[in-house]
């Protein structure tokens, strides 16, 4: 009898104790860390910082948040295997991450098939939420279309008629150019595209491209180049005098990842989308900046903000859903408001796109470094199509 | 284009040609003498650039510092090349052909991660050259001074190399070894040090070529792979081992590129063709045309096949009874596995089955067929696209799409194979690569059909096959069935005739075997089975994008075949299993997982120069490999 009672007490204690140290909630994270390290190392630091903050503040409903992070091998086939393993082996409740558009789309398709929520951090393709959007996929960053739309009002103000386009030859560049043409023609009928150069990604023949653009005698230039292509284009273009008297608009050109390598060759006056981290004085950003610099002894890049905001989106969704069930999570994410270093954002119910924006401004040189001046925050919400149109884009 | 624009674009082309020539010349020399297909050549180039960047930071931005940095970087890379040759490649000259390729591939992985570890992820834009940092005005256009220097430098180095090869004793020995290395050896030339010297010289040219790009190219981690493909194309178009040929090819390709960009777009019969977009693939188009018209490149000649070394292969024998029982038992084990687990092992094994079939189909033409292919992923990818398109655009049920999709790969193999079997050795391999790149660029560009660079998504199996277990069984059954069929074919009269054609084309021809026809048929068979693997792959992933046809996928196939051992029947299966498992495990547990894979492959290559299955066979039946 006594023994029985003792056993009962023991098992009760075990049950209570088990509740006190509740199982952590597992989130699967995957990205092409070794293929795109320039963007993704800061990204990883961003979500790690957010994760530490969340868990220090008590986690989600008293449960710790645990992120199982994996390299996706840098191609869609391996990424799908890794994601599927995160689901089957690590039993994660949600997926987050991804950088390249083709890999992001492949994982979003798996998310739909396995009925698990996927918060895409970085992939820019419009298709992720529109043409190929699905119920289980949400996306944080402003898409290619949105970022182009943010630049267009400034481009229209200049009243230039002859435009030259240069963009990396893959979906991001192609759709950036297509959106630019469409939006510009609507805002300023009669503009002419006098040259269009689409060098292979990472392999721009900068001298020849600059020369070809010059020969077309454009009034202004729209570029979607980034990383090494952008650096080569800037150097050749300045050397050969392409930018003299010609305004240039460059998508993503103000992101520290792509701006910082230019150092004292930063082309002044270019209009760009980016992240002027030194100068954003909002309380939300100052708090983030201080925490990031304290934790990593480094300044944040665009990727840092993306990683940080993605992690908070996931945590807030789990908090609001009070469950790890996919349907509950979808309901929670639709219309979810998240506090980010850029201010509050909302995941739209209609197309699962967040209203995170980007900073639009001009490039300048300061102490041999590139900075953004003259900038303003372009709220994503103002550059998204209205719900009815978005629904049509999703084929609903 | 105006006259002055044409002149400037021509000069842009000349500057580009010099840059290309510097990398390609080293690669051509190395191949000509040692017959090593050096994948790590692009990595040497990348290291040269990174080293030069750091050295300039250290030596200061003055003109003296700049040129000293270039020189030191080139010499440092040459020294690395020397170490690689002495400690790795020298041990592999007696191994089957192409095994050195595996070792250099491992080096690529190690150097990639090493560079990331040392220099960090951010692009490093080097300084302009002091004294040559401005532009001069030529017919009203501004043209960078440094490009003028490059235009002069390329031909100067060509002349220097030419003099070195024709006017020095060392050059004479190198040429002798290029013509017939066994004969040179028999005449008392110390091949060891000749090979080492040539390899170091090649590395010097690659490292120097990279370092010289400092003012034109930011140091970044994509350089190795982007350069290596270009360099190979130049070398093959020019003719393997021919330095003047490499120069001519570099000139041809760089000028064609410059004018594609200069002209921009072209209107033909109402259609606007973007020549700017054509630069994605133009060098491979040039290579395909040149190889079809001149099978040994512009200035190349048919060379004596190296004797000894890998030597004549042992006849393929039917697997012994215990081996058959072993394989049967393994299949049974795999068949009952889902009873034990429903999760993660099935996911990994599904991938392994797919890649095993892919590797066996590649081995079918490479091993018994004697036709190396660097572009086998084309058929894999086309099979996947075929199945995906039939499902999504053709509205076919999944089962029919899976069955009929591979025909697309088969048709491609039928077409490409006809050209490829007319060539041999590395030329053939490079032509397969050219066709693969052309297929890739079509998938990449044809947005309305293939979905462009994003590819197609939502390609899932029918409901009854949708669970992981069901699809596991499907993949196991189809892959195993196809592999057995391929193996069986090798022991049919067709397989015997194929091997006869490989071992002795003349005698095979004399007894009435149409060698080319046999090879063509084998090419198509291998293409169809690779396409079946691709179709299985697409339904297990739910999506397909151009990566599936790209060079890395082809290289993965080669690595699997070589890792397992090209001279054995089951080798590719073990190679596929090991490589896929290694990738999965390493990337899960280690941060620098590519370096780990590279080091493991390097260790395996050095420990088992005959491949895994080759090693096992030697152990299990001693004396079997004695001549």
Q: Is the pLDDT of residue B316 over 80?
A: no
pLDDT bucket at A40, cuts 50 / 70 / 90: very high
Confirm if A384 and A146 have CB atoms less than 8 A apart: yes
The residue in chain A having the minimum alpha-carbon distance to the alpha carbon of residue B142 is A240
Q: Is the pLDDT of residue B135 over 80?
A: yes
Chain A CB contacts of B16 under 8 Å are 205, 207-208
Give DSSP secondary structure letters for B354-366: HHHHHHHHHHHHH
Instruction: Flag if A206 and B216 touch (Cβ within 8 Å).
Output: yes
Q: Tally DSSP H helices, then E strands, for chain A.
A: 13, 14
Q: Is the pLDDT of residue A20 over 50?
A: no
Would you call B134 an interface residue with chain A, using a CB distance cutoff of 8 Å? Answer: yes
Please tell me which of the candidates A85, A109, A240 has its beta carbon nearest to residue B344: A85
Instruction: Flag if B1 and A215 touch (Cβ within 8 Å).
Output: yes
What mean pLDDT, rounded, does chain A reach?
Answer: 91
Q: Which residue has the higher pLDDT, B522 or B31?
A: B522
Instruction: Flag if B123 and A215 touch (Cβ within 8 Å).
Output: no
CA B456 to chain A, closest CA, distance in angstroms equals 8
* Cα–Cα distance list, B231 to A197, A206, A313, B255, B413 (Å): 24, 19, 46, 15, 26
Model pLDDT, residue A16: 45
Q: Is the pLDDT of residue B623 over 50?
A: no
Give DSSP secondary structure letters for B424-473: -HHHHHHHHHHHHHHHHHHHHH-HHHH-GGG-EEEE---GGG-SHHHHHH
Q: Is the pLDDT of residue A6 over 60?
A: no
Instruction: Flag if A76 and B455 touch (Cβ within 8 Å).
Output: yes
3-state secondary structure of A94: strand
Would you call B147 an interface residue with chain A, using a CB distance cutoff of 8 Å? Answer: yes
Instruction: Flag if B344 and A106 touch (Cβ within 8 Å).
Output: no
- When pLDDT is averaged across residues A355-369 and rounded to a whole number, the result is 95
The residue in chain A having the minimum alpha-carbon distance to the alpha carbon of residue B254 is A205
Model pLDDT, residue A3: 52
Could you give the percent of chain A with pLDDT greater than 90?
88
* Mutate which: B228, B261, B451, B465, vs A, most A CBs within 10 A: B261
pTM of this prediction?
Answer: 0.91
Q: For the segment A335-355, what is each residue's pLDDT rounded down to a tens digit?
A: 999 999 999 999 999 999 999
pLDDT bucket at A15, cuts 50 / 70 / 90: very low
Burial class (CB in 10 A: 0-12, 13-18, 19+), B329: exposed
Q: Which residue has the higher pLDDT, B272 or B171?
A: B171
Alpha-carbon dihedral angle through residues B320, B321, B322, B326, given to the nearest 10 degrees:
100
- When pLDDT is averaged across residues B569-587 and rounded to a whole number, the result is 91
The angle formed by the CA atoms of residues B312, B314 and B316, to the nearest 5 degrees, is 130
pLDDT bucket at A5, cuts 50 / 70 / 90: low
3-state secondary structure of A375: strand
Between CA A64 and CA A153 the distance in angstroms is: 45
Please tell me which of the candidates B15, B279, B455 has its beta carbon nearest to residue A199: B279
CA B343 to chain A, closest CA, distance in angstroms equals 5
- When pLDDT is averaged across residues B458-476 and rounded to a whole number, the result is 92
pLDDT bucket at B100, cuts 50 / 70 / 90: confident
What are the φ/ψ torsions at residue A362 (nearest 5 degrees)? -115, 155
Q: Which residue has the higher pLDDT, A382 or A7?
A: A382
Q: For the segment B1-10, what is each residue's pLDDT rounded down to a tens digit?
A: 788 889 999 9
CA B553 to chain A, closest CA, distance in angstroms equals 10
Model pLDDT, residue B324: 86
- When pLDDT is averaged across residues B483-499 and rounded to a whole number, the result is 93
Instruction: Flag if B541 and A71 touch (Cβ within 8 Å).
Output: no
Confirm if B615 and B116 have CB atoms less than 8 A apart: no
Q: Is the pLDDT of residue B579 over 50?
A: yes
Instruction: Flag if B217 and A228 touch (Cβ within 8 Å).
Output: yes
The residue in chain A having the minimum alpha-carbon distance to the alpha carbon of residue B580 is A78
pLDDT bucket at B416, cuts 50 / 70 / 90: very high
What mean pLDDT, rounded, does chain B reach?
Answer: 89
Please tell me which of the candidates B112, B257, B541 has its beta carbon nearest to residue A205: B257
Model pLDDT, residue A4: 52
pLDDT bucket at B91, cuts 50 / 70 / 90: confident
Model pLDDT, residue B270: 74
Instruction: Flag if B276 and A80 touch (Cβ within 8 Å).
Output: no
Instruction: Flag if B588 and A70 touch (Cβ within 8 Å).
Output: yes
Portion 78-117 of B in contact with A at CB < 8 A = 112-113, 116
Q: Is the pLDDT of residue A89 over 60?
A: yes
Could you give the percent of chain B with pLDDT greater than 90?
56
Q: For the segment A290-311, what is each residue's pLDDT rounded down to a tens digit?
A: 999 999 999 999 999 999 999 9
Model pLDDT, residue B303: 61
Between CA B562 and CA B483 the distance in angstroms is: 17
Between CA A355 and CA A313 the distance in angstroms is: 12
Between CA A44 and CA A38 the distance in angstroms is: 11
Would you call B587 an interface residue with chain A, using a CB distance cutoff of 8 Å? Answer: yes
Model pLDDT, residue B180: 78
Model pLDDT, residue B625: 43
Count of A–B CB contacts within 8 Å?
A: 207
Model pLDDT, residue B314: 65
Please tell me which of the candidates A102, A212, A261 has its beta carbon nearest to residue B262: A212
Q: For the segment B276-288, what is each residue's pLDDT rounded down to a tens digit?
A: 888 888 999 999 9
Model pLDDT, residue A18: 46
Q: Which residue has the higher pLDDT, B246 or A3?
A: B246
Between CA B612 and CA B607 the distance in angstroms is: 9
Instruction: Flag if B218 and A231 touch (Cβ within 8 Å).
Output: yes
Chain A CB contacts of B122 under 8 Å are 38, 257, 260-261
* Cα–Cα distance list, A330 to A30, A135, A347 (Å): 20, 8, 10
- Give the length of chain A: 396
CA A12 to chain B, closest CA, distance in angstroms equals 32
B48-64: b (≥16 Cβ within 10 Å) or e: bbbbbbbbbeebeeeee
Could you give the percent of chain A with pLDDT greater than 70?
94
Q: Is the pLDDT of residue B305 over 60?
A: no
Give the count of alpha carbons within 13 A of B454, CB side only: 27
Model pLDDT, residue B61: 80
Instruction: Flag if B542 and A109 touch (Cβ within 8 Å).
Output: yes
CA A100 to chain B, closest CA, distance in angstroms equals 9
């Amino acid at each position: 009898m006594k023994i029985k009672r003792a056993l009962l007490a023991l098992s009760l204690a075990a049950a209570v104790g088990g509740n006190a140290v509740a199982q952590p909630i597992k989130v699967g994270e995957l990205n092409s860390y070794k293929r795109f390290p320039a963007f993704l190392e800061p990204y990883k630091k961003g979500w790690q910082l957010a994760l530490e903050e969340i868990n220090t503040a008590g986690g989600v409903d008293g449960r710790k948040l645990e992120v199982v992070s994996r390299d996706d091998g840098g191609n869609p086939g391996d990424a799908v295997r890794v994601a599927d393993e995160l689901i089957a082996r690590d039993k994660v409740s949600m997926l987050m991450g991804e950088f390249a558009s083709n890999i992001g789309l492949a994982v979003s398709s798996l998310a739909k098939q396995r009925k698990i929520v996927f918060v895409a951090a970085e992939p820019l393709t419009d298709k992720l939420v529109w043409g190929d959007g699905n119920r289980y996929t949400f996306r944080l960053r402003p898409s290619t279309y949105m970022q182009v739309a943010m630049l267009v009002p400034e481009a229209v103000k200049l009243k230039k008629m002859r435009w030259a386009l240069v963009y990396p030859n893959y979906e991001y560049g192609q759709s950036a150019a297509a959106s630019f043409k469409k939006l510009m023609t609507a805002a300023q009928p009669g503009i002419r595209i006098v040259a269009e150069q689409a060098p292979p990604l990472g392999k721009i023949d900068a001298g020849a491209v600059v020369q070809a653009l010059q020969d077309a005698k454009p009034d202004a230039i729209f570029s979607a180049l980034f990383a090494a292509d952008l650096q080569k284009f800037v150097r050749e273009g300045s050397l050969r005098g392409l930018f003299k008297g010609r305004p240039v608009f460059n998508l993503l050109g103000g992101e520290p990842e792509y701006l910082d390598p230019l150092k004292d060759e930063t082309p002044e006056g270019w209009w760009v989308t980016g992240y002027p981290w030194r100068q954003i004085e909002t309380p939300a950003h100052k708090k983030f900046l201080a925490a990031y610099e304290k934790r990593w002894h480094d300044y944040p890049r665009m990727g840092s903000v993306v990683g940080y905001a993605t992690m908070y989106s996931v945590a807030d969704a789990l908090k609001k859903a009070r469950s790890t069930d996919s349907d509950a999570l979808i309901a929670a994410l639709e219309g979810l408001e998240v506090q980010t270093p850029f201010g509050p954002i909302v995941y739209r119910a209609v197309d699962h796109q967040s209203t995170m924006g980007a900073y639009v401004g001009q490039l300048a040189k300061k102490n041999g470094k590139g900075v953004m001046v003259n900038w303003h925050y372009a709220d994503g919400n103002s550059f998204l199509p209205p719900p009815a149109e978005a629904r049509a884009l999703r084929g609903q | 284009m105006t006259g002055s624009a044409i002149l400037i674009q021509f000069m842009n082309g000349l500057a580009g040609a010099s840059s290309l020539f510097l990398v390609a010349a080293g690669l051509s020399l190395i191949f000509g003498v040692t017959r090593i297909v050096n994948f790590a050549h692009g990595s040497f180039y990348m290291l040269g650039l990174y080293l030069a960047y750091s050295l300039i930071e250290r030596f200061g931005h003055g003109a003296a510092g700049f040129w000293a940095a270039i020189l030191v970087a080139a010499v440092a890379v040459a020294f690395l090349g020397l170490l690689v040759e002495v400690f790795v490649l020298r041990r592999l000259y007696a191994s089957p052909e192409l095994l050195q390729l595996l070792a250099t591939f491992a080096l690529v992985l190690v150097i990639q991660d090493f560079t990331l570890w040392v220099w960090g992820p951010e692009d490093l834009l080097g300084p302009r050259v002091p004294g040559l940092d401005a532009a001069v005005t030529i017919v009203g256009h501004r043209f960078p001074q440094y490009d003028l220097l490059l235009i002069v430098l390329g031909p100067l180095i060509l002349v220097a190399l030419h003099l070195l090869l024709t006017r020095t004793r060392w050059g004479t020995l190198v040429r002798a070894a290029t013509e017939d290395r066994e004969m040179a050896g028999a005449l008392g030339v110390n091949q060891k040090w000749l090979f080492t010297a040539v390899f170091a010289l090649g590395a010097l040219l690659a490292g120097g070529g990279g370092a010289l790009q400092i003012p034109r190219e930011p140091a970044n981690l994509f350089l190795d792979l982007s350069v290596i493909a270009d360099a190979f194309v130049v070398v093959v178009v020019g003719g393997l081992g021919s330095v003047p040929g490499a120069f001519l090819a570099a000139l041809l390709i760089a000028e064609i590129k410059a004018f594609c960009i200069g002209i921009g777009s072209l209107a033909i019969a109402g259609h606007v063709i973007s020549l700017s977009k054509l630069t994605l693939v133009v060098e491979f188009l040039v290579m395909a045309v040149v190889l079809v018209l001149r099978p040994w490149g512009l200035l190349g000649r048919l060379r004596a096949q190296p004797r000894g070394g890998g030597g004549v292969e042992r006849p393929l024998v039917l697997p012994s009874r215990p081996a058959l029982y072993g394989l049967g038992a393994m299949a049974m084990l795999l068949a009952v596995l889902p009873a034990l687990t429903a999760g993660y092992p099935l996911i990994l094994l599904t991938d392994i089955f797919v890649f095993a079939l892919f590797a066996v189909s590649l081995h079918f033409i490479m091993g018994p067929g004697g036709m190396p292919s660097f572009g086998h992923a084309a058929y894999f990818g086309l099979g996947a696209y075929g199945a995906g398109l039939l499902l999504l655009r053709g509205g076919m049920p999944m089962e029919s799409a899976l069955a009929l999709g591979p025909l697309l790969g088969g048709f491609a193999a039928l077409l490409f194979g006809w050209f490829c079997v007319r060539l041999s050795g590395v030329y053939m391999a490079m032509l397969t690569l050219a066709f693969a790149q052309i297929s890739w660029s079509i998938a990449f560009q044809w947005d309305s059909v293939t979905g462009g660079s994003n590819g197609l998504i939502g390609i899932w199996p029918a409901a009854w096959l949708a669970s992981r277990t069901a699809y596991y069984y499907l993949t196991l059954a189809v892959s195993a069935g196809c592999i057995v069929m391929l193996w069986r074919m090798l022991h049919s009269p067709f397989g015997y005739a194929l091997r006869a054609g490989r071992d002795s084309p003349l005698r095979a021809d004399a007894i009435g075997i149409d060698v080319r026809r046999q090879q063509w048929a084998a090419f198509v068979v291998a293409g169809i089975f690779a396409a079946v693997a691709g179709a299985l792959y697409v339904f297990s992933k739910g999506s397909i994008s151009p990566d599936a046809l790209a060079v890395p996928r082809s290289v993965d196939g080669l690595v699997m075949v070589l890792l397992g051992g090209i001279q054995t029947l089951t080798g590719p299966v073990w190679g596929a299993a090991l490589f896929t498992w290694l990738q999965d495990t390493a990337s899960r547990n280690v941060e620098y997982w590519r370096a780990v894979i590279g080091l493991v492959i390097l260790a395996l290559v050095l420990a088992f120069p005959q491949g895994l299955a080759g090693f096992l066979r030697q152990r299990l039946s001693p004396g079997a490999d004695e001549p």
